[in-house]
Amino acid sequence: MQRYFVNKPAKDERFYIDTEDRHHIVKVLRMQIGDQIICVDPEGKSAVCRIAEFTDEQVVADVVQWKEVVSELPITVTVASGLPKGDKLEWIIQKGTELGAHEFIPFTAHRSVVKWDEKKAGKKIERWQKIAKEAAEQSHRSFLPEVVSPVSFKNLLEKSQNYSYKLVAFEEESKNGETSRFASTLKQIQKGESLLVVFGPEGGLTEEEVQQLKKHDFVLCGLGPRILRTETAPLYTLAAISYHFELLR
């Protein structure tokens, strides 16, 4: 059953779906009155709904049954990625959303080859958010992850004050055989707490960046004996978090 994130809560047990989602229902899926969909409100509550009416601007859907669904990780995980080349960030956003990420923060690292163009920022962020939305619908998420506008490394350090736990995936730690900090951090985190994990771009983080992160209470950790690409490491991390909190227990 197709899932849609609706901008406003249900009013009198009715959802009103507009913009691109209306187009998708009417023009792409060619749904009819009586067809059923799933609507998710801004608070993450989902309901099976029956299409009741089509207007020039909206699709009106009546709530048939509210659903009690647990599809979110018990902790909120934010992925901070040093701007990578090509479409790697899109891959991280799409697959990271499927794996349960709560938020994505791209940042400009010293070794980022890509230079952020403010003139193209609006369209780029809109595309990233659309990728997250489609991935959240496909994977039956109850929450739509946010993709924030890329920040400077300095701004990332400032933002980090808002998180309960902070990790840096650092390849030098993997090379040196460090294997315990990631796992021990997960054992400490309680339900409802937040975790920020930083990943460098293709060239990795500089020594100066690493020292700055340590000064801001980040814990450096390895992700096993193999060196992972910048687009692989966040997905490995999210999968490990899912295993720890959702399967192991």
Would strands 219-221 and 59-67 be described as parallel, antiparallel, or unpaired?
A: unpaired
Residues 63 and 29 sit within 8 Å (Cβ to Cβ):
no
Domain spanning 3-67: CATH superfamily: Hypothetical PUA domain-like; domain 1 (2.40.240.20)
Phi-psi region of 207 (alpha: psi -120 to 50; beta: other; left: phi over 0): alpha
Sheet holding 46-54, edge to edge: 3-5, 36-40, 46-54, 59-67, 14-17
Pull the structure tokens for residue 115: 């230079």
Q: Quote the pTM value.
A: 0.88
Give the residue from 172, 170, 125 showing the smallest Cα distance to 150: 125
Would strands 103-108 and 194-199 be described as parallel, antiparallel, or unpaired?
A: unpaired
Nearest 10 degrees: Cα torsion 58, 62, 66, 67: -60
Residue ranges per structural domain of the chain: 3-67, 76-247
Residues of the chain with pLDDT under 70: 173-179, 249
- Cα separations in angstroms, 105 against 82, 108, 237: 9, 10, 15
Alpha-carbon distance 87 to 97, whole Å? 16
The per-residue pLDDT for 66 is 94
Instruction: Say whether 76-247 and 3-67 share the same fold.
Output: no
CATH architecture of the domain with range 76-247: 3-Layer(aba) Sandwich (3.40)
